[in-house]
Each structure stands twice: as C-alpha cells, then as structure tokens.
Amino acid sequence: MKRLAMAALAAVAAVSLAACSSGGDAGSTSGGGSADKTLGIVAYIGTNAINQQAIRGATEVAEKNGWTVNVVDTQGNADQANAAMSSFATQGVGGILTLVYASTALGAGLASAQAAGVPVASWGGGLADGVIATTSNEAVGKASAEALVKDMGDSGDLLALTFHPGKLCLDHQNEFDAAVAEKPGLNITYNEVVVPGQQQSAANFTTSWLASHPAGQGNYGIWTCWDEPMEGIISALDQAGRTDVKTFSTNGSAPGILDVQEGKVTSVVWQPSEDEGAALAQAILDYRANPDGWDPQTIKIDGVVVDSSNVEQFIKDHPDSIK
C-alpha cells in the first residue's frame, strides 16, 4: 500500500509540473499572478521524490507571500535547464530556483538571468556569478559515509553507484571517497548510473556485481550517492535472493525512509530538502527586498542518519518525511 501511495504521489506531481518542451519553454505562469511575483523552478527530474520535497518547501513560502510558482521538469538535461532559465528571464519572473544542477553547468541561463536582473538560488548546485544562495551537500554526504564505514568495518567489498553530472551526488561522493580512503581494507567498485533510467541502470550494475561476489563469501555493501537508484538495487537483490548485502544511500526521500522501515536498506541520511527549498525561496524574497546589502549565502541544514534503531521514532518526529 505504501508503494502504491508513493507511486500515486509521483503521478500527481508529474501532472502538476509544467512539461518542458524540446525548446525549454517554461510554460505559462499558474494562478494568473504577475510575472515579477512568479518563482520559476527548474527541476532536475520533476517526479523525483527529493525534488518534489524541495519544490513543496519553496512553493509554500512563495504562495504565503502572494507569489505563484511555475515548475519546469528538465529530465536531467542541462541544455533544457539553461533554456528554461532563459525563458523565465525573458518573462521577467521574480526569481529562479534551480535544483541539483551544478551552477557551473548553467552559464547561459545564469547570464540571461543576470541580464534581466532576476536572482537565482540553487538547491545543491553551489555558488556562482548570479547565484544569490545555495545549499550545502557536504554534511549529508559526510554523515552517509560515516554511517557506512561504521557498519562495514575495516574490510569488505563495496559497490559505489555515482552520478557526476549532479553536483549533489558529486559532493556526496567526495565525502564517501574521503571516508573509505581511511579504510584500505575496503575494496570499491565504482559504476556511473545513467539518468534518466537510474533505477534500471542501478539494477543492472548490482546484478553484475553480485555475480562476482557470491553469497556467504564476504562482507558486502552497496552505496548510492542518492536514494532513487536504491529501488533498482533492492530489485536486483530480491531477484538474486540476497540478504547478505548492506545498503546505504543519501537524501532520504519518502521511498528511502520507507525502505529502511521495511528492512530493505541499512541506512539512509535524510536531507531536509523541504526546509532547504523553503529557505532558498525565502532567500530570493529577502534579496529582492534589499539587493544592495546582500551577500551570497550557503545554507547548511544538517541531515539525520536513519536506520533500524531510530526509523520508527524518526517517522513520528517527521511525519511529512514519508509523504
């Protein structure tokens, strides 16, 4: 039932997001508000649960302040993201929020926004010219790496699934690499997942890796730089009948938390993405109120390691985390 509920949520979100055309058209502004009181959101993958949570937080702040919100789902395509930002800038929106994309990959979009005087905030993409605020990914990545090392111990075999185009994932991997470098007995196999298609890609890599790591012959673990590929990992483990492999991920979207609750994932680090989205939307509002006195900000909100020891209490304390 929980799986069906999450699928339904994703479907609703997919319908509500503005579709991105091949030309990167940002679509019409919802609610009939004026353009300069519209927040344009450039989603990496709009139906991804962690993107949805950041969008939800930003939308709540924007709407409380009388703004409308227009979301473009760019499906992980940086060219479409740049085009969407340029379209928003041409419309004269009040601010743009980008999700996941490294700000360095959005040069054309940032240039358009700067030329139009539109402030840009970046969820996890880092600061750059034209970006007035971003969120930090390091704390979540470090917490995930530390939890993994604690559970794996000094030796074992790990499959690490990475995704370098996403700065959030890249930052998480940097923390992972630093942690496992302190444990020379951990043997790491790296594979780069494909987006879109991250779940199937993860399943394929997992199946291949399992074939060379037989059950009962080692201390095994699989880490992914964000938790959406975990569904593919779980599927491959289930198909192989393997229960001897520890699993670790980051971001802690609703499916990720439920996977811990169901005993399918060893630990996930919950990233308070809804709070981060809200903070970035507020940063845009604050910047517009006093642009001359603004210094670019990196917003840091710590995550929470969720595992079997605390998952039930965590859900009680954070009921929205599984919505």
In angstroms, the CA 146 to CA 211 distance is 27
Q: Are 274 and 123 in contact (CB under 8 A)?
A: no
Right CATH number for 138-251 from 3.40.50.970, 3.40.50.2300, 3.30.70.260, 3.30.420.40?
3.40.50.2300
What's the rounded Cα separation, in Å, for the pair 252 and 263?
Answer: 14
What pLDDT is stored for residue 6 in this prediction? 32
- Which positions ≥6 away from 241 have C-beta within 8 Å? none
Q: State the DSSP string of 222-260.
A: EEESSSTTHHHHHHHHHHHT--SEEEEEEE--HHHHHHH
Query: For residue 29, what pLDDT is reported?
Result: 43
Tokens of 111: 């240039």
- Per-residue DSSP letters for 126-167? ---TTEEEEE--HHHHHHHHHHHHHHHTTEEEEEEEE-TTBH
Locate tokens 């630093």: which residue?
Answer: 178
Q: Can you give the pLDDT at residue 165?
A: 85
Task: Report the C-alpha gap between 155 and 257 in whole angstroms.
Answer: 27
* 241 CB neighbour count, 10 Å cutoff: 8
What is the pLDDT, as a whole number, of residue 320?
Answer: 84
N-to-C CA span, the chain: 13
226-237 exposure pattern, b = at least 16 Cβ within 10 A, e = fewer: bbbbbbbbbbbb
pLDDT for res 32: 53
Tell me the C-alpha distance between 200 and 220, whole Å. Answer: 21
The torsion angles phi and psi of 322, rounded to 5 degrees, stand at: -110, 20
- C-alpha closest to that of 122 among 229, 279, 253: 279
Question: Facing residues of 39 across strands?
Answer: 69, 95
CA-CA-CA-CA dihedral for 174, 179, 182, 187, to nearest 10 = -80
Q: Would you say 171 and 141 are in contact if contact means Cβ atoms under 8 Å apart? A: yes
Query: 266: Cβ–Cβ under 8 A, 6 or more apart, which residues?
Result: 151, 221, 246, 247, 248, 260, 307, 308
- Please answer whether residues 281 and 121 qualify as being in contact, where contact means their C-beta atoms are separated by less than 8 angstroms: yes
**Which pair of structure tokens corresponds to residue 82?**
């740049």
Token pair listed for 258:
């439920």
- Candidates 299, 233, 288, 297; CA nearest to 265 is 233
CA-CA distance, 269 to 144, in Å (whole number)?
6
| CA angle centred on 172, ends 122 and 107, rounded to 5° | 35
pLDDT at 50: 83
Domain with CATH 3.40.50.2300 in the chain: 2-135+272-301, 138-251
Per-residue pLDDT for the chain (323 aa), expressed as one digit of tens each? 333 233 333 333 333 333 333 333 333 344 556 788 999 999 998 888 888 989 999 999 999 999 999 999 999 899 999 999 999 999 999 999 999 999 999 999 999 999 999 999 999 999 999 999 999 988 899 999 999 999 999 999 999 999 998 888 999 999 999 999 999 999 999 999 998 899 999 999 999 999 999 999 999 999 999 998 999 999 999 999 999 999 999 988 888 999 999 999 999 999 899 999 999 999 999 999 999 999 999 999 888 999 999 999 999 999 988 88
Residue 198: the pLDDT is: 93
Architecture of domain 2-135+272-301: 3-Layer(aba) Sandwich (3.40)
